[in-house]
Amino acid sequence: MTEPRGYISGSRRPAALLYDWDNTLVDGWAGITAALNAVFAEFGHPPWTTENTRNRVRVALRESFPVMFGERWEHARDVFYDSLTRQGLDHVVPMPGAEALLQAGADWPQGVVSNKAGAFLRREVTHLGWNGFFGPIVGAGDATADKPDPAPLLLALRHLGHAAGGTVWYMGDTALDMQAARAAGVTAVLIGDARHDGGVERAAPDLHFKSAFEVRSRLRELA
């Protein structure tokens, strides 16, 4: 575990744990890619690989689709969600060590804050049988704005009854997640090397763990 920004101690016990979803707790990129490619086929665009999706998808659909599809973005949205409804759960699998991390985190209040649409996010949590791990499950469209705006993190904290502060950890895999954490005034915790998003230096986390297994070990120590 490393502490790139230096002013927050990894030995300080957190009071609450918030998590990003895709590429932090689950690998659902194949399903997202299939849904995007259904839209691209409808619009005559070339398909993406899963790696393309992993490298390019950051902000919520309500921000990205108007840019990508212009005035027909709502039709693109409907095609995307129809595809995701039909096949998305077939592709959702836990990231290595994710369930063990959540079990270690059960001593703390836990929640999810994602840029995946709230209804689909909660469906995936239920599909994995993880509802018992979480209080708030906040997705795109549930708050007044989506990440990197702090609104969804602050909404999750209100549900938990916690104020923002350094003892709240928000764990994610991208620079956008770290930006959202800093905007909300909580500790920005990077899991993984962020290779798909410019690396650790670009993400500039408060705390950095190489894997979910490493976070689990630290939480066990702090418990």
pLDDT digits (tens, 9 = 90+) for 15-73: 999 999 999 999 978 888 999 999 999 999 999 998 898 888 878 888 899 999 999 99
Q: What is the pLDDT of residue 10?
A: 60
Mapped onto helix, strand or coil, the DSSP state of residue 115 is: strand
CB 1 within 8 A of CB 208: yes
Could you give the percent of the chain with pLDDT greater than 70?
95
Q: What is the pLDDT of residue 115?
A: 94
Domains 16-27+93-222 and 29-91 share a fold: no
Q: What is the pLDDT of residue 4?
A: 45
Helix (H) or strand (E) holding 128: helix 118-128
- According to DSSP, the residues that pair with 161 across neighbouring strands are none
Buried b (16+ CB within 10 A) or exposed e, 40-49: bebeeeeebe
- pLDDT for residue 160 is more than 70: yes
CA dist., res. 124 & res. 133, Å (int): 13
Q: How many CB atoms are closer than 10 A to CB 51? A: 11
CB 134 within 8 A of CB 155: no
Name the one residue in this structure whose structure tokens are 């499950």. Answer: 137
CB 105 within 8 A of CB 12: no
Which amino acid, residue 61?
Answer: L
Residue ranges per structural domain of the chain: 16-27+93-222, 29-91
Mean pLDDT of the chain: 92
Out of 29-33, 172-176, 212-216, least confident range: 29-33
CB 147 within 8 A of CB 113: yes
Helix (H) or strand (E) holding 179: helix 175-184
- According to DSSP, the residues that pair with 18 across neighbouring strands are 111, 170
Q: Which class is domain 16-27+93-222?
A: alpha beta
What topology is assigned to 29-91 in CATH? DNA polymerase; domain 1 (1.10.150)
pLDDT tens for each residue of 96-142: 999 999 999 999 999 999 999 999 999 999 999 999 999 999 999 99
CA dist., res. 222 & res. 133, Å (int): 18
Q: Before 94, cis peptide (omega within 30)?
A: no
In eight-state DSSP terms, residue 186 is S
Nearest to 37 by CA among 72, 88, 1, 74: 88
Q: What is the pLDDT of residue 60?
A: 83
Mapped onto helix, strand or coil, the DSSP state of residue 162 is: coil
Out of 17-21, 84-88, 125-129, 158-162, least confident range: 84-88
Mean pLDDT confidence for 160-167: 96
- pLDDT for residue 7 is more than 50: no
